Structure 1
Amino acid sequence: MITDTASIKKRLNQHRRRALDCEALRTELEFARDKYGSVKAMTYDTVPGGKGSVGESSTERQVYRVLELEEKVAKSEKACEQDWAEIEPILEGLKPTELLIIRLRYYYAAEWSDICRQVYGRKKDFETELDSYQNKTFKMHGRALLNLAERYRPE
């Protein structure tokens, strides 16, 4: 019997995209903090002009942008964690290395080269046998998907 892995791959890739989106927001927030400084470090040494509008000065706009990004990151991280909590029970029973590969690829949204290095990078012949280790990584990922597909029942 051939097990179809399409639905579990789709579900895992949905989470991976969510994780990548969250990482992009974190990167943007880090950039904004570097560019504008931390909101906590900003000083307010002048009294507002009393016009009642928000974000008229450049400093106000910068503060609001950083605050907005911080809120987006917090919401994104919470949604990402909740999403992974739905996936986590399905992963029970995977072999440790299979579980590691699935988590690195989908929870952390790691690239294949980084996953391979994390799993096999300590091997003495890693650099010379890189192609072989990459193939092992892909095969182990495939076996993990087959195991998950047997248990995954989308709603």
Structure 2
Amino acid sequence: MSDKPITHDIKERLGKYTRLLREIDNQYERLGRMEISMAAPPGPDMTGMPRGSGTPTDRTGMMVLRKMELEEQIKERLAEEREERAALEAMIRQVENPDERAVLRLRYFDRADWDGICAVLFSDRQDYLERIDSYQNRTYKAHGRALLRMAEILKETEAPAVKGSKRR
């Protein structure tokens, strides 16, 4: 028997998904910086010192090529993200409790923090501000139950593939 907790695999998968979202964010930031750099070409050289070989169009062409490569990388990552989001959403839809589904979507798709998730779920309650710690704990517990259910769903979806591979 494995020493890993039952939720290990689903946590790994959700963590990988959020790292992919972060990678996409970083690439967009990089693209934005690249576009700013391209829009502001270097000024004239007033020092009288010789410049390196090549013309400004070489630099511009190189920057355009890098930008196109980065845009292609972003497209590939976005396709990966859409595919994984669809797979995760299919599993989330199988979670019966709507609060547990909400916690998963808010935490992993929207990347909300715990305070924000708690507010979405419970801020309409009259005693929310007085009992915020209690509601925070309820949020954590809903997340834990949701992870357990997602782990079960993941195991169920992977089980047929394992059984099918033994028949060969």
| TM-score, reference length from structure 2 | 0.65
1:115 maps to 117
1:89 correspondence with 2:90: yes
1:40 maps to none
Superposed CA RMSD in Å reads 3.2
2:140 maps to 138
2:70 maps to 69
Cα drift, residue 28 of structure 1 = 2.1
Letter of the 1:91 counterpart:
I
Structure with the bigger RCO (C-alpha within 8 Å, sep 6+) is 1
User: Unaligned stretches of 5+ in structure 2?
Assistant: 40-54, 162-168
Alpha-carbon deviations, 1:56-105, whole Å to 9, x = none? Answer: 22x33332333222222111111111122222222223222211211222
User: Quick one: distance in 1 between partners of 2:127 and 2:28?
Assistant: 36
* Higher Cα radius of gyration: 2
- 1:1-150 pair list within 5 angstroms: 4-37=6-39, 56-57=58-59, 59-94=60-95, 95-121=97-123, 126=128, 129-150=131-152
User: Quick one: distance in 2 between partners of 1:71 and 1:20?
Assistant: 17
User: Quick one: distance in 2 between partners of 1:109 and 1:8?
Assistant: 16
| TM-score, reference length from structure 1 | 0.69
User: Quick one: distance in 1 between partners of 2:87 and 2:7?
Assistant: 18
Letter of the 2:121 counterpart:
V
- Deviating more after overlay: 71-80 vs 19-28: 19-28
1:7/1:125 Cα in 2 relative to 1: closer, same or farther (>3 Å)? same
User: Unaligned stretches of 5+ in structure 1?
Assistant: 38-52
User: Quick one: distance in 1 between partners of 2:31 and 2:123?
Assistant: 32
Identity score, percent: 31
- For residue 58 of structure 2, give the secondary structure of its aligned residue in structure 1: coil
User: Quick one: distance in 1 between partners of 2:36 and 2:127?
Assistant: 41
- For residue 152 of structure 1, give the secondary structure of its aligned residue in structure 2: helix
